[in-house]
Chain A
Amino acid sequence: MAEIENTPDVEEMKEMADVLLKTGTLLMSAGANTGRVRTTVHRMAEAFGYSIDLQISQRSIWLTMLNDHGASIFTIVRVTPSHIINFRTISGISKMSWSLFEEPWSIHQLRDELQRLEQLPRFPRWLVLTLVGLAGAGFCSLADGSPIELAFTFVASFLGLYVRQEALKGGFNPYVSVYFSAFTASLIAGSASKLGLSDSQNHAYVTSVLFLIPGVPLINSFSDILDGNVQNGVTRGFVGFLISFSIALGILTSALIYQF
C-alpha cells in the first residue's frame, strides 16, 4: 500500500479532521445525543467542502476523510473526555456550525471558537447548590410533601450535591460519588421522619435523592435507539441504570440506619 504523501492538501485535511473530531468529542462529552454529534460534524465538513464518514461511540470518535470518489484517504481517532454535561457548549457549537454557512471561517477561527466553548464559565457554585436544593423541594412538593418536609428536602439536596461535587473533586468514581451523595441526602431528609415531622409516607426521605436522577443518559438513550444508534443507546441506558442503582444503594443504606 502506498504511503499517503504529506502534500499541503493532505496537511490541510488533517488539520480539518482534527477540528471536526474536537467538535464531535466536545459535543459528546457535553451530553449531546449521537444523532446530533453526527449531523453537526457532517454539517461542518460540508461547509468546508469535505466529505467524511464517522463512527461514534461513548468514549471515542473515528473519522475517515473521503476523496471525491468516496474512497478513504485516512482515518483518525480521538478519545472523548469524561462526560460532564454542559448545555452551554452544545448550544454554542450548534450556533457555530450554522454560522459557517453564512460567513466563511478559517480553521484557526474555528479552533479559537472551540477553545472558547470548551472553557465557558459555569454558574457559581452557590447558585447551582441553591437551585438544586429548590429542585429537591419541588420534587417533595410534587409528592404532596408538607412545608416542613420541603425545607428538609432543600437542605438534604443542597448538601447531597455538595458531597457529590466534593467526592468528584477528590477523584472518586462517579458512581461512588452518587452513592455518597444519595446516602448523605437521604440521611438528612430521613431525620424529618425520625423527629416526627413527617407522616408515614416519608416524602422528604424519598424525594431528597431525586436531584441525582440520570436524566440526560436516560433520555439520550432512547433518542439514540430511535435514531438507529442502538449501541450507544444501550450503553447510555446502562449508565443510567447504574446511576439509579447507586442512588438506590445510598438510600437503602440510610434506611438500614433509620430502620424504615
Chain B
Amino acid sequence: MTWLLIILYKSVWGGIAALGFAALFNVPVRSFFHIFLFGGIGVFIKFTLLHFNFNIALSSLAGAVAIGFLSIPAAHYKHTPPLIFYIPAVIPMIPGILAYRMILGLISLTGNPKVATYGATLSETVNYGLKVVFILISLSVGVVIPMLLLRKESVKDIKVPFTRK
C-alpha cells in the first residue's frame, strides 16, 4: 500500500499548488478550502489511474471531469461561479515535465543533429508533444464537460441536493 501513501502525499502537494494559483487569481477567501480539496482530488484521481496503467491523457481527463462535477455543488454552496473552483484546481495536473522535454527535443531537432540519433529524437519529441497537447485538451475540455452534459446556461439552473437556499 505504499503507492497509495505516495499518491496521498502528492495529492496534498497538488492541493497546495492549486492554492498558489488561487492566491495569484485573487479568489474570494471563502473558496480557498474547496480549491485545495478539488486540486488534491484531481491529482489523486490522475495518479491513481496512472498507477493502474491508464493512459496519461485519459487519467488527466478523469481528474478534470471530477473537478468539473464537484465545482457545481460548490458553486451553489459558496455562491460563486464554478470557474473560480475549477481553473485553479486543474492547473496542478498540467504536464510541465513533458512540455519541457518536448521543447528540449524541438531545440535539438532545429540544431544540427547527428543522423544516427535524429530518428530517435524525432519520435521522442513527437511523443512528448502529442501527450502535452492531448493532456491540455483533456484538462480544458474536461472541466466544462459537466456543464455541457447538464445542458444549462448557468449553474443556478441546476438542481443540487442538500444546498441551503
Contact = CB atoms under 8 A, between A and B. Distances in A.
Given A128-B23, A252-B107, A138 B87 contact: no
B160 to A, nearest CB: 15
A211 B94 CA distance: 11
B25 interface: yes
Interface stretch (B7-15, B52-60, B121-129): B7-15
- Per DSSP, chain A at the interface is helix
A177 B21 CA distance: 18
A143 B97 contact: yes
A41 B26 CA distance: 22
A111 to B, nearest CB: 22
A139 B140 contact: no
Interface string B63-78: 0000000000000000
Interface residues of B, number: 49
Nearest to B145: A226
Nearest to B101: A206
Interface string B12-31: 01111111111111111001
Contacts of A141: 9-10, 13
B25 to A, nearest CB: 5
B13 A138 contact: yes
Contacts, number: 140
A148 interface: no
A232 to B, nearest CB: 14
Contacts of B26: 85-89, 120, 122-123
Interface in B132-165: 136-137, 139-141, 143-144, 148, 153-154, 156
28 contacts: A32-B81, A36-B83, A87-B27, A90-B84, A91-B27, A98-B156, A123-B23, A128-B24, A132-B20, A132-B24, A135-B18, A138-B14, A138-B92, A142-B10, A142-B14, A142-B43, A142-B92, A161-B24, A203-B97, A206-B96, A207-B97, A215-B21, A216-B87, A219-B86, A219-B87, A223-B144, A226-B141, A252-B103
Given A210-B96, A215-B94, 18 more contacts: A31-B25, A32-B83, A36-B81, A87-B84, A123-B26, A132-B24, A134-B20, A135-B16, A135-B21, A136-B20, A139-B96, A142-B92, A210-B94, A211-B21, A213-B91, A213-B94, A213-B96, A244-B99
Interface of B: 9-10, 13-28, 31, 43, 79-81, 83-84, 86-88, 90-92, 94, 96-97, 99-100, 103, 107, 136-137, 139-141, 143-144, 148, 153-154, 156
